[in-house]
Amino acid sequence: MIKQIETPADILGLEMSGKLKKEDFDKMKPLLEEHQKEKGSIKLLVIYHEFEWPTTEALKEDLKSYYNYDFEKIAFVSNTKLLREAADNVLSIMPGELQWKGFEPGEKKQAINWLQNA
Mean residue pLDDT of the chain comes to 82
Whether 91 has a pLDDT exceeding 60, the answer reads no
For 63-94, b/e burial (b = at least 16 CB within 10 A) is eebeeeeebbbbbbbbebeebbebbeeebeee
pLDDT in tens, 24-78: 888 888 999 999 999 999 999 999 887 666 566 766 666 666 567 888 898 989 8
User: Using only C-alpha atoms, what is the Rg of the chain?
Assistant: 13
pTM value is 0.81
